[in-house]
Amino acid sequence: MKKENLRPIFWEKEGLKLLDQRQIPGKKEWFTAKNSEDAIFAIKEMVVRGAPAIAITGLFGAVLEFKKFSKKPDYQEFQTILSNILGSRPTAVNLRRAFEELSSIFPKEEYDNVSLSELQQKSEKFAIHVFEEDIRNNLELAKNGVGLFPSSPSKLKIITHCNTGALATAGHGTALGVIRSLKDAGHDLTVYADETRPYLQGARLTAWELMEEGIENYLITDSMAGWLMSSQKIDAVIVGVDRVAANGDSANKIGTYPLAVLAKHHGIPFYIAATEKSFDFKITDGSQIPIEMRTQDEVTRLNFLKNEKGEAILSEGVIAPVGVKALNPSFDVTPANLIKAFITEKGIIPPDKIKEFFG
């Protein structure tokens, strides 16, 4: 596959076309969302995932809902549509920020003067703007990330977690976007991708993207990172993020926190790649970030998928006793003191300086 085809989201006349990430790497299939219910399903069941891609999907889901109306919904119904989509994934801040910006386009005191066509056209224009902005920001972020490494081509070994590439965004990616740009700058890369249990985004998605890009990579189980850091010269750990609190505490896919602890112990710089949309100055620290708890089946089985009715369509690979209880927090919080810096479209920012850039 050519690099330009690594794009998971297309806005078309038929609806919002999403690369179904549940099916990768086995096959490449597309899911078309034709209304807000489809968009909510796609977000909740991880047809689409990654904070930027979730926000974009949510926005277009709202646009699809508005396009169904022959009469403009009242303001309460307008807000209900947004809140229903917002409830699909609570941890990532991008979706909430996107809907706050959308609401600001249609303030309550002016809403009665807005026509249905204006609601439809302006919301669609805003969703397209967010989509295009995400690609631009990812490219600028990646350019800044490349500057952290030697300017001349070098051999680099990098560990990453979960999936933060084109599949998690509108295109190019955040942490994986930095890696992609390092390759384009001529560096000889070896990337170690954590499998990211239990949903295996690293195994299914990141390894797939790296192979498509021709970047040498090794898949490791989440428990192998300590051995790898102690036995190999690792140049950096680069991950993405779903929400950053005002003090720099950062929520990302479960398994990120212990990776940061290990990196600190071994003197390896731990970077978080994130656009401004991921910073939430409404909360003071990581204890205020809601952590999504997902189904136990993701832990006790492999390849667990659901259809639009919530019914199991694939449930293979039982790996635990029947009836065992399982915990499945989808995210953990990495304290700011374990983070070397944030790689952003505005520059490289130490945790104690983020308010100066974005506050």
Query: What pLDDT, on the 0 to 100 scale, is given for residue 2?
Result: 37
Instruction: Give the active site residue among 194, 242, 297, 332.
Output: 242
Residue 277 lies in a domain: yes
Residue 142 lies in a domain: no
Task: Kindly state the DSSP code that residue 1 receives in the 8-state scheme.
Answer: -
The answer on 211 and 78 residing in a single domain is no
Q: Is 50 annotated as a binding residue?
A: yes
Last residue of a domain, one of 112, 137, 162: 137
Sign, CA dihedral 298-303-308-309, equals negative
Residue 75 lies in a domain: yes
Condensed to tens digits (0 to 9), the pLDDT of residues 123-141 reads 999 999 999 999 999 999 9
Query: What pLDDT, on the 0 to 100 scale, is given for residue 310?
Result: 67
- Where is pLDDT greater, at 250 or 356? 250
Condensed to tens digits (0 to 9), the pLDDT of residues 289-334 reads 999 999 998 899 876 666 677 666 555 677 888 899 999 999 999 9
User: For residue 18, what are the CA distances in angstroms to 129, 286, 290, 311, 334?
Assistant: 18, 31, 26, 21, 30
5 pLDDT higher than 60: no
Residue (of 138, 144, 76) closest to 112 by Cα position: 76
Q: Which structural domain range is residue 255 located in? A: 152-358
| β-strand pairing of 9-12 with 341-344 | unpaired
Condensed to tens digits (0 to 9), the pLDDT of residues 167-177 reads 999 989 999 99
Per-residue pLDDT, averaged over 94-103, amounts to 96
What CATH number is attached to the domain comprising 310?
Answer: 3.40.50.10470
Residue 144 lies in a domain: no
The answer on 334 and 241 residing in a single domain is yes
Residue 147 lies in a domain: no
The answer on 156 and 257 residing in a single domain is yes
Query: What pLDDT, on the 0 to 100 scale, is given for residue 357?
Result: 86
- Report the predicted TM-score, pTM, of the whole model to 2 decimal places: 0.91
Residue 145 lies in a domain: no
The answer on 94 and 217 residing in a single domain is no
Neighbours of 22 (CB within 10 A): 21
Residue 281 lies in a domain: yes
Q: Is 49 annotated as a binding residue?
A: yes
Cβ partners under 8 Å of residue 152, min gap 6: none
Tokens linked to 206: 């990141």
| 321 CB-contact burial (10 Å; exposed 0-12 / middle 13-18 / buried 19+) | exposed
Look up tokens 């990453």; give the residue. Answer: 160
4 pLDDT higher than 60: no
Query: What pLDDT, on the 0 to 100 scale, is given for residue 144?
Result: 98
The answer on 201 and 313 residing in a single domain is yes
The answer on 37 and 108 residing in a single domain is yes
The answer on 307 and 201 residing in a single domain is yes
The answer on 106 and 201 residing in a single domain is no
What CATH number is attached to the domain comprising 86?
Answer: 1.20.120.420
Last residue of a domain, one of 74, 102, 137: 137
The answer on 303 and 169 residing in a single domain is yes
Q: Is 94 annotated as a binding residue?
A: no
Last residue of a domain, one of 105, 137, 169: 137
Binned at pLDDT 50, 70 and 90, residue 3 comes out as: very low
The answer on 156 and 132 residing in a single domain is no
What is the phi/psi pair of residue 281, to 5°? -85, 5
Query: What pLDDT, on the 0 to 100 scale, is given for residue 1?
Result: 32
If one counts the domains in the chain, the total is 2
> Does the annotation count 242 as an active-site position?
yes
Q: Is 89 annotated as a binding residue?
A: yes
Q: Is 294 annotated as a binding residue?
A: no
Q: Is 197 annotated as a binding residue?
A: no
Residue 271 lies in a domain: yes
Binned at pLDDT 50, 70 and 90, residue 83 comes out as: very high
Q: Is 96 annotated as a binding residue?
A: no
The answer on 218 and 167 residing in a single domain is yes
Condensed to tens digits (0 to 9), the pLDDT of residues 139-162 reads 999 999 999 999 999 999 999 999
Q: What is the mean pLDDT of the chain?
A: 93
The answer on 165 and 104 residing in a single domain is no
